[in-house]
Structure 1
Amino acid sequence: MINLVLFGPPGSGKGTQAQKLIEKYNLKQVSTGDLFRYNIKNNTELGELAKTYIDRGQLVPDQVTINMLINELKVPTSTNGFIFDGFPRTAGQTEALEHIVEEQLNRPIDLCLSLVVDDEILVERILKRGETSGRTDDSNEEIIRNRIQEYYAKTAEVAELYKKQGKYVEISGVGEIEDISQKLFTEVDKIIN
């Protein structure tokens, strides 16, 4: 079993590369965004609680997100591991995730893969995506730049924690999709072999 954290700012190609990793290694993607949507749509107790914060424009407390994550990891799966997307975003969340996977899966986080892309390329990609995505936050350059800066500010401490553990690898997210995938596969293969 392998447990990966996939990092990357908005527009870095994280969604595309997550799918490539899932297909190659038979992983289950655990996305906090998907967990929120599922729990809210299905009116679970955690979904109702999360919705009260979201409706007030507040961040959902870590413990609510962590409880959703624990519930998701308890669901039986025939995959070879997990890829965590959108979590962790803070040092506290990183420590919580380490504890959760050890407790629920009897395995640590093996690797944090970070897609690195120059900010100007990120802005260009997101604006282009905005032409077809219908998302208003993909069409406003100021909002895009704020999202990118917020990402860096929040995740810097997470990167440092994984660097200290020797589990952090940066991969350039610029180039052909297949070439980027191959670089990610090479890093994952190092921990499998």
Structure 2
Amino acid sequence: MRIVLVGPPGAGKGTQAAFLAKNLSIPHISTGDLFRANISQGTELGKQAKAYMDAGNLVPDEVTIGMAKDRMSQPDAVNGFLLDGFPRNVGQAEALDGMLKGEGVALDAVLDLEVPEDEVVKRIAGRRVCRNNSAHVFHVAYTPPKTEGVCDECGGELYQRDDDSEGTVRKRLEVYHTQTEPIIDYYRAQGLVVTISALGKVGDVTARAMEALEGDKAA
């Protein structure tokens, strides 16, 4: 299957993408991984992206599109893939359509993870990270530490990252609504959108997504 995963920040796209890709035996292709791989490998596209990023500028669509095109041409993606973070806007969606059409294939589904805005803010703004080890992550409501402000794993101080503050989260949501949400309407016009609730336990959301995708495939 060829799937695009969309949803607001805090919807759990990365977590769900990993599980779904494994269940469907297709590669999980995320924008973040594409950037890191190209920059670390010193590819021409990576050098271009790094130059923009170092200057504090957004990476142009053509660079992101080029990275995605190269990754989708790899052998493990020939029979399908799950895109996470790409396309990010309608221009990228149109470019993706053109790429796939050129290969004689098309998307099977666009999975839209739906989460109320207040829940997104609660999920992200409630995160606390250990200063000693960023892999130690807690949540004030869902996975609180035994002692407030102290990491259960190493005793380090827990803090809220600047990009997890409520103000920053709401700005990220504004960007999502303005730039990325329109691709849902773009794909809905093609009959590709499958919307599911991303509330509840991770395993339940994965099962819901698999059921929706299999039902869409059968249809």
Structure 2 length normalisation: TM-score? 0.81
Name whichever of 121-130 and 48-57 sits farther off. Answer: 121-130
Alpha carbons of structure 1 residues 42 and 78: separation in structure 2 relative to 1, 3 Å = closer
Equivalence for 1:69: 68
Q: In structure 1, give the amino acid aligned to 2:200.
A: G
Larger RCO (alpha carbons 8 Å, 6+ apart): 1
Find 1:114's aligned residue among 95, 112, 124: 112
CA distance in structure 2 between the partners assigned to 1:172 and 1:108 by the alignment = 25
Equivalence for 1:25: 24
Deviation at 1:138, TM superposition (A): 4.2
Find 1:129's aligned residue among 127, 130, 151: 127
RMSD, matched Cα: 1.9
Larger Rg: 2
Find 2:199's aligned residue among 153, 174, 189: 174
Q: Determine if the alignment matches structure 1 residue 10 to structure 2 residue 9.
A: yes
Q: Determine if the alignment matches structure 1 residue 157 to structure 2 residue 156.
A: no
CA distance in structure 2 between the partners assigned to 1:17 and 1:52 by the alignment = 31
Equivalence for 2:146: none
Alpha carbons of structure 1 residues 135 and 44: separation in structure 2 relative to 1, 3 Å = farther
Equivalence for 2:50: 51
Specify every segment of 5 or more residues in structure 2 that has no aligned partner in the other structure, as ranges: 130-136, 139-158
Structure 1 length normalisation: TM-score? 0.91
Q: Determine if the alignment matches structure 1 residue 95 to structure 2 residue 94.
A: yes
The 3-state SS of whatever aligns with 1:77 is helix
